[in-house]
A and B are shown apart, each in its own frame.
Chain A
Amino acid sequence: MVTSSSLVYLIALPLFGAITLLLAGRRADKWGHLLGTAMSASSFGVGLYQLSQMLSRPTEERAIGQKLFTWIDVASFQVDAGLLLDQLSICFVLLITGVGTLIHIYSISYMSHDENRRRFFAYLNLFIAAMLLLVLGDSYLTLYVGWEGVGLASYLLIGFWNQKPAYATASKKAFVMNRIGDMGLSFAIMIAFATLGTVSFAGVKEASEGASETALTAIGIMLLVAAAGKSAQFPLQAWLGDAMAGPTPVSALIHAATMVTAGVYLIVRSNFIFDAAPTAQLIVVIVGAITLLFGAVIGTAKDDIKKALAASTMSQIGYMVLCAGLGPAGYAFAIMHLLTHGFFKAGMFLGAGSVMHGMNDSVDMRRYGGLRKFMPITFITFGLGYLAIIGVPPFAGFYSKDLIIETAFNAGGFKGILLGSITLLGAVITAFYMTRVMILTFTSPKRWEEDQHPHESPFLMWFPMVILSIGSVTSGLLFYRGDALKNWLNPVFGDHGKDHYEEHLFEPIVVSAMALTAVAIGVGIAIMKYQLSEIDAVAPQNVSIFTRIARKDLLQDSFNESVFMRPGQVLTRLLVKGDENVVDGAVRGIGRTALGAGATLRRTQSGFARSYAALILIGAVALIAGIWVVTL
């Protein structure tokens, strides 16, 4: 493998920014945001440079690595602090630094009134660094560092306004649920080490070829758990909605474009494991399918614009996971959807932020309406993203989603039909709820109070939105044309990357037609329901049980609370009591017993000389009784 000494700068630059901003404290308030943005941008520059270098090399030499130092070296457990930049990671590097830089720029303005803007930029830089480490790490353990690092950054950013108890709770919830996922990653690494004897990607790949399916399935399932935690997949999805407590740029960057897709990265990166573990793959598909619908259904019921988008994110990642679970056929498409989703979803989140910015930070879509006129740029960029996500050609989402649906149908047999149908159903619902968002926000009559003064956002905010919208328009075609992305990524997937179009259930064009029909149905229902009828400024309460359940996030929190949290609390209380009374009680009991024995024995000391004499006599009797017995 080619080595390079410059990879580390990708991470070092934003990390330097983060550390500087955190240590400098208030002194850096004036220039902190600039430094942060600059660091992110220069990292993006390094990324571009690396891309150009990569392009200049032949296909088989495109992957490069850098060993920084030996991190852990204990007998056979050897982990280097090593970086790996290949075709897969460069996609992520560019996405992270690119979108990241845009969001930095956006935040300069968005956070300009916050006295802690410097800290915000520090966190953002920290996130960029961690995320880059996640995608650049050349072993599961280095990935793990980035994995938890982004979790930490996410925690800090969700809780950026942690003076509100609810936000603080949300950040904690996100971290804890992520930790459950991390536990899965730990298990995966432990199993990998125990069974394969290594934890580096290269090593595991090599060893996995001769490994038993059982072991690989175990690793795969554990990796899926990890992915589910990070990517808000069923059943670890509950934190994402609450994570919207963070400032909107955060939602755009972390909880839409990059961090939440880390799970997909992990699965795709571990292709060699999943390829050899069909059971694990099946479970991946099932999880993806469930989440796809789950998120979509929640999305229909949300009046909070950010939560609606978050649900959508969940659903879209479901698509990616599902696709990644379909094996070599799906990896590239999963990544493609990931990238396009990165553009349009980030753009839409920024748009949502822009709307909130103009609406005094209100997030209730039922209080929006008619903003088209007041925020034209936002409307247009948001609208482009909207078209992309529902899959209208030639916008980016059309290509990526279409390919996923197609791949799903091609999975073969009943499974293929079922999965295809699910993806189609998802497309219908997506179209419905995204149209709903559009209508409620922009095109319906205004429902806001008179003292609101919606206005377009400043340049620094709309500029990134414009860039991202360009991405959401063009990226799909760019990746799709001539299977550009697929061919680019294929070396990563090794031999499996060959053509997989042998058996088509439907012709691609048929699939596209079905997808478009689905979109049309969804959009149509939404228009009928919202554009053409009155919208309540307050969510109606006399709704069906299903709506209510959907509004309650399909009871995910209630479930977690009643199954994990409350029993956990009860257990904790029981243990605390038990520790006090039983364990420590036993200790105290021993003490009391000794004291009691002392008090009892003490009575023999009655003060009467005669009883002392009796004691002596009893001793004498005992002694001669002993003699009597032993001499029998």
Chain B
Amino acid sequence: MLTIQTPEAVMFWVLGPLSVIAAIGMLVVKKAVHSALLLAWIMITIALFYIAQDAVFLGIVQIVVYTGAVMMLFLFILMLVGVDASDSLTETIPGLRAIAITAALGFGGLLVSLISRAALGRPAIGLAEANKDGNVQGLAKLLFSDYVFAFEAISALLITAALGAMVLAHHQRTVARPTQREQAIARFRTGSLASAAGLPNPGVYARHNAVDVPALLPDGTPAPNSISATLKARGDMLESSQFELGEVDNTVQEEK
């Protein structure tokens, strides 16, 4: 027979509402990265629920794999796409908002109502018996005997995922990478000699987070081409004029 101790109930009543609120938060925050963080929080909550429900192994995996790996992947991608980019939350498809709200209320309401009316006709058992040799051992037994076929088959899924990522992301070189020598020759052959020495580095005379601030040229004017093209494209370049020196102090201070 399953009895639930008070600590768990307390935990549930604290974390449960929090997770739901966090989930709702996911829908209403503008920045994707905030959504991601809220999701990470929900996942941790759920991990705690797992652990509370005698699914220790899953709880840990949830934190390690999900929160640790999957969410990090999400964050990576968010970074790539633009971490500061924020969504407009105004609905552009007419009627969809209404449908969404109705569906949400309907779905959620019906779901809750149905769960409340559901009866299994047997008492909740609890995992004490199943976990008596240890949760991990129990899982392992199932995993490597009864569900070994699925377990093996899932390797195909993993290969597919890797292969897919390769297909979509791998840039096959269409032209041989120019050697340094070739690059040097090219620099001199084409363009002005001004660029022959290579592009200026960002962050020279850094008074700010270096990467997104254009370098200042010796005459004090900013050099926009010192910023990575990606940042430019993303609009993450700071206005460089604010770093322009109004007047270059040419006086050389004597070292004392």
Contact = CB atoms under 8 A, between A and B. Distances in A.
Interface of A: 606, 608, 610-611, 614, 617-618, 620-621, 624-625, 627-628, 631
A610 B94 CA distance: 12
Nearest to A632: B117
Given A621-B110, A624-B110, A610 B103 contact: no
A618 B99 CA distance: 8
A248 to B, nearest CB: 87
A621 B114 contact: no
B110 A606 contact: no
Given A606-B93, A608-B93, A631-B117, A614 B103 contact: yes
B209 to A, nearest CB: 36
A617 B96 contact: no
Contacts of B93: 606, 608, 610-611
Given A627-B114, A631-B117, A611 B96 contact: yes
Contacts of A617: 103, 107
Contacts of B99: 614, 618
Nearest to B111: A624
14 contacts: A606-B93, A608-B96, A614-B96, A617-B107, A618-B99, A620-B107, A621-B106, A621-B107, A624-B107, A624-B111, A624-B114, A625-B106, A628-B113, A631-B117
Given A608-B93, A610-B93, A611-B96, A618 B103 contact: yes
Given A618-B103, A627-B114, 9 more contacts: A614-B100, A614-B103, A618-B99, A621-B107, A624-B111, A625-B110, A628-B113, A628-B114, A631-B114
Contacts of A618: 99, 103
Interface string B227-250: 000000000000000000000000
Interface in B110-157: 110-111, 113-114, 117
A317 B27 CA distance: 104
Contacts of A610: 93, 96
A367 B169 CA distance: 112
A624 B108 CA distance: 10
A608 B93 CA distance: 8
A450 to B, nearest CB: 97
Contacts of B106: 621, 625
Given A614-B103, A617-B103, A621-B103, A628 B96 contact: no
A617 B99 CA distance: 10
Nearest to A627: B114
A611 to B, nearest CB: 6
A268 B111 CA distance: 95
A611 B107 CA distance: 16
A627 B110 CA distance: 9
B26 to A, nearest CB: 15
Interface residues of B, number: 12
Contacts of A620: 107
A628 B110 contact: yes
B109 to A, nearest CB: 9
Contacts of A621: 103, 106-107, 110
A411 B93 CA distance: 98
Nearest to B106: A621
A51 to B, nearest CB: 100
Which 9 pairs between the two chains have the least Cβ-Cβ distance?
Answer: A621-B106, A617-B103, A624-B110, A621-B107, A628-B110, A614-B99, A621-B103, A608-B93, A625-B110
A148 B99 CA distance: 77
A210 B113 CA distance: 87
B4 to A, nearest CB: 27
A628 B100 CA distance: 20
Contacts of A624: 107, 110-111, 114
Contacts of B107: 617, 620-621, 624
Contacts of B117: 631
A608 B91 CA distance: 12
Contacts of A625: 106, 110
A611 B111 CA distance: 22
Contacts of A628: 110, 113-114
Contacts of B114: 624, 627-628, 631
Nearest to B92: A608
A602 to B, nearest CB: 16
Contacts of A606: 93
A617 B113 CA distance: 17
A611 B110 CA distance: 21
A265 B111 CA distance: 94
Nearest to A631: B117
Nearest to A618: B103
A290 B114 CA distance: 93
Contacts of A608: 93, 96
Nearest to B91: A610
A625 B107 CA distance: 8
Nearest to A624: B110
A556 to B, nearest CB: 73
Which of A608, A621, A624 is most buried by chain B, counting CB atoms within 10 A of its CB?
A: A621
A614 B101 CA distance: 10
Contacts of A611: 93, 96
A403 to B, nearest CB: 99
Nearest to A617: B103
A616 to B, nearest CB: 10
Interface string B74-111: 00000000000000000001001001100100110011
A624 B103 CA distance: 11
A625 B106 CA distance: 8
Nearest to B105: A621
A610 B96 CA distance: 9
A605 to B, nearest CB: 13
A618 to B, nearest CB: 6
Interface string B183-222: 0000000000000000000000000000000000000000
A153 B114 CA distance: 90
A630 to B, nearest CB: 11
A627 B100 CA distance: 21
A216 B200 CA distance: 124
Nearest to A615: B99
Nearest to B114: A628
A631 B117 CA distance: 9
A35 B39 CA distance: 114
A612 to B, nearest CB: 11
A265 B141 CA distance: 113
B113 to A, nearest CB: 6
A611 B96 CA distance: 7
A371 B78 CA distance: 123
A611 B98 CA distance: 12
Nearest to A607: B93
Interface in B47-73: none
A442 to B, nearest CB: 99
A625 B102 CA distance: 13
Contacts of B103: 614, 617-618, 621
A606 B106 CA distance: 23
Nearest to B103: A617
A227 B93 CA distance: 82
A611 B103 CA distance: 12
A628 B112 CA distance: 11
A52 B254 CA distance: 169
Interface in B153-180: none
A617 B114 CA distance: 17
Nearest to A608: B93
A618 B102 CA distance: 9
A47 to B, nearest CB: 96
A431 to B, nearest CB: 97
Nearest to A620: B107
Nearest to B107: A621
A627 B103 CA distance: 16
Contacts of B113: 628
B118 to A, nearest CB: 9
Which of A608, A627, A628 is most buried by chain B, counting CB atoms within 10 A of its CB?
A: A628
A617 B100 CA distance: 9
